[in-house]
Amino acid sequence: MTARPVRLEREGDVGLILVDRPPVNAISQPVRQGLLAALQEAALDPHLTSVVLACEGRTFMTGADIRELDAAPAEPTLGRVTEAFDALEKPVVAALHGTALGGGFEVALACHARVIAPDGAVGLPEVLLGLIPGAGGTQRLPRLAGPIVALELIATGRQVSAAEALKLGLVDEVATDVRAAAMTLARELAARGARPRVADRPVPPCDRTRFETAVTAVTRRARGHIAPSRAAEAVGLTLSTPFPEGTAREQALARALRQSMQSRALRYLFHAERQAARPPAGSQPRPLVRVGVVGGGSMGSGIAVALADSGFETILVEADAAARSAAEHRIGTILDRQVQAGRLSTEARGERENRLASALDLATLAHADLVIEAVPEDSTIKRAVFRALSAIVRRDTVLASNSSALDIETLADVVDAPDRVLGLHFFNPAHVVRLIEVVRAARTARAVLATGLALARRLRKLAVVVRMAEGFIGNRILLRWRLQCEYALEEGALPEDVDAAHELWGFAMGPFALTDLIGLEDAWNARRRRGAHPVRERLAPIADWLCEHGRLGQKTGAGWYLYRDGKRLADPEVAGLIARASALRGIHRRAVPASAIQERSHVAMVNEAARILAEGVAARPSDIDVVMVHGFGYPAWRGGPLFEADAIGLAEILRRAEAIAARDGPGWEPAPLLRDLVRQGRRFADLDT
């Protein structure tokens, strides 16, 4: 790190302010102080007629230093910095490269013009940390792009490419030599005596009804997340409030959010995600160019698309011509949907297809650097695949299983170099869901583990390292969570009631809709493998009955719900099975409040998570929160079940767990670790390393 994070250089009559704060030029207090000092120096230099703001390194300023957000704002605030750029009597042009995000883009908006590199991107992603822009971003962006566009960008935190930024009027020029172009523009503005302040621009005309409709949509999508609604409130100020008053009210909203529990939760997750994916010290991943996938079902096809999307030469191997044709059809459907949604151009679709080949012979994988097995969840089938691959691929080829529950150790047993075996548990749909559980078996080499983590990064996915245990982290917690929800069904609720309670809690999808999406058969097979539970735990038979009726979820058109013409429908047949289960247990059905459903779900998650931690399956509590947020839709703004448990208080969580055990019997006793933490006056956060 340089001693001076900001310096002023002179290029003839142009003052070049350079920010040099590796690795991402975060706008920390020293940077803010340096920017003000450089501006003052440029203002006082009579030889300088204009100023260019640029950054060293691989990117423009990427926003605040997140470590500072837990303390009171330190002077000078970012608002003071943007005001100083805005007020400078000499024209200032921002030269943007890499990503100009958050406070970095707010500073650029306060400049008098902006030039961006062709591969640059801009955005105001504060909402992803439970915040809103607080240095004029919500007031300046609508004056350039219009209130409705600004609302969409700020409420979602979406990044905008250079081409789109130019189209929306967020930048004035796209240039390969961005500094040279910015200097030319700065000189032109100085020659004209022009200093076009965004704050002086009128807000483009906006249909109030359309804007209110957009605000309603933002609130609905937020599902309890406060920041998007506050962003809408701030943007809405531009429709009738002068700029100075609008920025003052924006800053007040931003300050309140900074201290909110939701923002604390999202900042916690930000750090947790980076900690979870950290590779083992001193390890180097193996190079990956060619990757194979064995099995082209819904998971295998999704994995193949994700690999091709990320530039890998991908070969998908199926058992016979019919299965191969079905896999090719699935892949084509996925790519078609990406094109229809505007996420993929027709040209890029063709490039994906060129990188993705299919075959019927495992021998085509002889030169693969990594092979991912995605065949049906049957140990015998998987062992046969691994045994065959061991005889075909190079000895240094990494062999990975996408199993969601089976013992990776038994697969390594049939491989000639068992240290190259690991689990890569993708979540369905594999090309969409961001999470991968990277399963470290007892013999997995450090370099192989590092390779799995490097693959996840290349796929732009979030990896969490787990130790071998049936169900790993996510599916193991899901089993307990769903069982409590099935008890609620027996007591009087219906699937749509349980799912609605979870949506009120902030989930995008409730557990029964989620199970239908994942498919019911893997959990059914796992229950049959386990056989009778050793503690005679209360078991709900409804899920087994559904599977016995061939209702395996969305792929069969029926599971907990019926699926017709793309719609999810409540099914009287399922209601009948639930009533039958209640009668068999002698339960008089009654209404189950949404709050009771939410509480029992949360406690089931926390109690099982405590067992997982005690067994060493997860390295730290925050890893479990990352899995539940990114794999199962736990509301990110709540931080995850363990973060939320700490916020509620573990003594209260223990009391609730004891009540569940008293009601539901053996198998629901509070986890010893939970009792220990309460006795010691500690939190889950105290176990994070």
Residue 433: C-alpha distances to residues 154, 632, 664 (Å) = 23, 9, 33
Residues 6+ apart with CB under 8 A from 625: 268, 269, 272, 634, 639, 640, 641, 642, 643
Q: Tell me how far apart the alpha carbons of residues 597 and 582 are, in angstroms, rounded to a whole number.
A: 17
| Strand partners for 552 | none
Q: Tell me how far apart the alpha carbons of residues 561 and 571 are, in angstroms, rounded to a whole number.
A: 6
For residues 59 and 99, is the Cβ–Cβ distance under 8 A? yes
| Strand partners for 488 | none
Q: Which residue has the tokens 């019919």?
A: 322
Q: Tell me how far apart the alpha carbons of residues 634 and 662 are, in angstroms, rounded to a whole number.
A: 27
Interstrand relation of 92-96 and 50-55 (parallel, antiparallel or unpaired): parallel
Interstrand relation of 421-426 and 435-440 (parallel, antiparallel or unpaired): antiparallel
For residues 116 and 71, is the Cβ–Cβ distance under 8 A? no
Q: Which residues are catalytic?
A: 106, 126
Residue of 600, 277, 612, 243 whose CA lies nearest to 434: 277
The torsion angles phi and psi of 293, rounded to 5 degrees, stand at -130, 130
Would you give the DSSP letter of residue 68?
G
What six digits make up the tokens of 396?
A: 């240094």
137-162 in b/e form (b: 16+ CB < 10 A) is bbbbbbbbbbbbbbbebbbbbebbbb
Q: Tell me how far apart the alpha carbons of residues 519 and 545 are, in angstroms, rounded to a whole number.
A: 14
The torsion angles phi and psi of 496, rounded to 5 degrees, stand at -70, -30
Handedness of CA 164, 109, 199, 135 (dihedral sign): positive
Q: Tell me how far apart the alpha carbons of residues 588 and 577 are, in angstroms, rounded to a whole number.
A: 15
Handedness of CA 45, 51, 57, 63 (dihedral sign): positive
Separation of first and last alpha carbons in the chain: 26
What six digits make up the tokens of 484?
A: 């409590």
- Name the CA radius of gyration of the chain, rounded: 28
For residues 43 and 80, is the Cβ–Cβ distance under 8 A? no
Residue of 670, 644, 651 whose CA lies nearest to 659: 670
Which helix (H) or strand (E) segment is 17 a member of? strand 14-19
- State the amino acid at position 648 in one-letter form: I
Residue 398: C-alpha distances to residues 292, 444, 451 (Å) = 10, 10, 8
Identify the three-state secondary structure at position 177: coil
For residues 249 and 139, is the Cβ–Cβ distance under 8 A? no
Residues 6+ apart with CB under 8 A from 437: 423, 424, 425, 463, 464, 466, 472, 473, 474, 627, 631
Respond yes or no on whether the N-terminal peptide bond of residue 76 is cis (omega within 30° of 0): yes
The torsion angles phi and psi of 10, rounded to 5 degrees, stand at -115, 125
